[in-house]
Amino acid sequence: MAVSEPTPPRGAEYLWNAFLALSEARRYDQGDPQPLSLLEIKAWTELYARPLSPREIEIIQIMDGVFRNTFARVMRTNEKRREYLQGK
């Protein structure tokens, strides 16, 4: 089953693009994506001169939570699939 890339609501593309840019520089620990910190978000806004309101930062943090939860779910599914195939 192919997974299509999510599309943000009209007018929110700038938040989606900010999230993608922040996520590209994300840290990983033992293969797991780490949450985007407020310091990383602040540094990004200053570096690219793209101020974000507290609400916009909250939305990016929500996107980050969805990303990390989805990542974990996909990894668990893949692990179960591997275990099933190895057990055959």
What tens digit of pLDDT does each residue of 17-72 get?
Answer: 999 999 999 999 999 999 999 999 999 999 999 999 999 999 999 999 999 999 99
Instruction: Give the residue extent of every domain in the chain.
Output: 13-87
pLDDT score for 88? 58
pLDDT score for 51? 95
Q: Across residues 67-88, what is the average pLDDT? A: 84
- pLDDT bin (cut points 50, 70, 90) of residue 78 is confident
For residues 37 and 11, is the Cβ–Cβ distance under 8 A? no
- pLDDT bin (cut points 50, 70, 90) of residue 8 is confident
Residue 24 identity? E
Closest listed residue to residue 23, CA positions, set 65, 72, 79, 83: 65
pLDDT score for 49? 96
For residues 40 and 24, is the Cβ–Cβ distance under 8 A? no
